[in-house]
């Protein structure tokens, strides 16, 4: 009986040991699984953090390249502005030497033919003898100055340099005062521009040979009715000032506003990336401090 009691006790001890071993193995197995999950999560977060930094670095490099391109475009624009200013000054000086009063709006590239140069009667679009003579002088002046700024002065003489100092188009713009019906004023302003254009090319037909880089004629027309007055008011003097012709010179590289918007957008993106990288660095510092503590 004693032997049986000892054997029974040993069996119970063995069963207890086996149970404890199984339980410890199970706990260890669960711990290993939890450790693996933690390791995978840690690795994933580390990879994501690394990916963020790599993406931020890549975007930064791309933005720097784009900014270099934009700076080049702005350099081209500045060259175009200088070329247009020189052209406007040359035309103005030539016309004033012939006794014609003109005004220059350099910011918008406009040569304004004042009422002393080209005058229109109310509700009329035809050029009177004085206005016609003045437009002919303007045509000759354009024929003398524009070829040097045209991409193609003739079919066989096209420039091979940059388009920054070349003319894209010269708009002959017709305007009216605020009197009369709006529908009539739109038609009237267009008629004034067209009649001026016809007189110009009749006097200097060679201007039609001038082309831009897209092989299109430089001279074109547009009418603005009374939407762009140079003088607000309702006196006869102000009406005469607004019944006018403007010549608007647009250079090939005249895209400053669009590039300014793009540059501002890129600047915003760059700031966001710096913030992203800064927050990543702060999180890294905090994590190291927690570990050290």
Instruction: Please report the DSSP string for 98-117 in residue order.
Output: TT--EEEETTTTEEEE-TTT
Residue 257 dihedral angles phi and psi, to the nearest 5°: -65, -45
- List of residues 6+ apart from 204 with CB closer than 8 A: 139, 140, 142, 143
Task: Return the structure tokens found at 167.
Answer: 């003319």
Q: What is the pLDDT of residue 211?
A: 92
β-pairing, 110-113 with 102-105?
Answer: antiparallel
- Looking at residue 84, its pLDDT comes to 92
Give 34-82 pLDDT, tens digit per residue: 555 555 555 555 555 556 666 666 666 766 776 777 777 777 778 888 9
Most confident of 16-30, 70-84, 152-166: 70-84
The H or E element spanning position 173 is strand 167-174
Which residues lie closer than 8 Å to 14 by C-beta, 6 or more apart?
Answer: none
Q: How many structural domains are present in the chain?
A: 1
In a domain, 54, yes or no: no
pLDDT value at position 1?
41
Residue 151 has pLDDT above 80, yes or no: yes
DSSP state of 170: E
pLDDT tens for each residue of 83-132:
999 999 999 999 999 988 888 998 889 999 877 788 899 999 999 999 99
Closest CA to 67 of 266, 232, 201, 249: 266
Q: Check residues 266 and 168 and name the one with the higher pLDDT.
A: 168
pLDDT for 175 beyond 80: yes
Instruction: Find, among 88, 79, 138, the residue nearest to 108 by Cα.
Output: 88
Q: Which residues constitute the domain of residue 254?
A: 71-258
What's the 3-state SS for 56-80?
HHHHHHHHHHHHHHHHHHHHHHHHH
Asked if the structure places residue 4 within a domain, the reply is no
Angle separating helix axes 182-203 and 129-145, nearest 10 degrees: 60
Q: How sure is the predictor about 13, in pLDDT bands with cuts at 50, 70 and 90? A: very low
Which CATH number belongs to the domain containing residue 206 in this structure? 3.30.1330.60
Strand order in the sheet with 167-174: 102-105, 110-113, 245-251, 167-174, 219-223
- The answer to whether residue 85 sits within a structural domain is yes
Q: Which of 13-27, 78-92, 162-176 has the highest mean pLDDT?
A: 78-92
Q: Is residue 16 part of a domain?
A: no
Cα separation, 246 vs 222, whole angstroms: 10
Radius of gyration of the chain (CA): 39
Share of the chain above pLDDT 70, in %: 61
Tell me whether residue 19 is in a domain.
no
Average pLDDT of every residue of the chain: 77
Query: Does residue 289 sit within a domain?
Result: no
Q: Is residue 265 in a domain?
A: no
Q: Which of 123, 229, 100, 214 is nearest to 173 (CA)?
A: 229
C-alpha 160/C-alpha 216 separation (Å) is: 16
Asked whether residue 84 is assigned to any structural domain, the reply reads yes
């Amino acid at each position: 009986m004693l032997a049986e009691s000892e054997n029974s006790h040993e069996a119970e001890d063995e069963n207890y040991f086996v149970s404890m071993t199984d339980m410890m193995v199970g706990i260890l197995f669960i711990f290993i699984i939890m450790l693996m999950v933690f390791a995978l999560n840690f690795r994933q977060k580390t990879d994501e953090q690394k990916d963020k930094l790599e993406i931020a670095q890549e975007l930064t490099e791309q933005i720097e390249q784009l900014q270099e391109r934009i700076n080049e475009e702005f350099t081209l624009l500045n060259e175009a502005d200088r070329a247009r200013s020189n052209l406007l000054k040359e035309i103005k000086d030539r016309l004033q030497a012939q006794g014609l009063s003109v005004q220059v709006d350099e910011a918008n590239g406009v040569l304004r033919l004042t009422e002393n140069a080209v005058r229109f009667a109310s509700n009329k679009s035809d050029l009177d003898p004085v206005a016609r003579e003045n437009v002919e002088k303007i045509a000759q002046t354009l024929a003398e100055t524009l070829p040097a700024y045209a991409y193609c002065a003739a079919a066989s003489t096209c420039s091979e340099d940059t388009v920054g100092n070349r003319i894209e188009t010269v708009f002959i713009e017709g305007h009216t005062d605020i009197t009369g019906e709006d529908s009539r004023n739109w038609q009237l302003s267009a008629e004034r521009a067209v009649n001026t254009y016809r007189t110009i090319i009749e006097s200097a037909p060679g201007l039609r040979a001038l082309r831009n880089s897209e092989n299109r004629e430089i001279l074109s027309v547009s009418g603005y009715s009374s939407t762009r007055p140079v003088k607000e008011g309702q006196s006869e003097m102000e009406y005469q000032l607004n019944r006018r012709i403007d010549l608007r010179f647009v250079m090939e590289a005249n895209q400053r506003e669009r590039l300014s918007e793009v540059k501002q957008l890129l600047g915003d993106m760059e700031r966001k990336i710096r913030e992203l990288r800064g927050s990543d660095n702060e999180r890294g510092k905090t994590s190291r401090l927690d570990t050290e503590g």
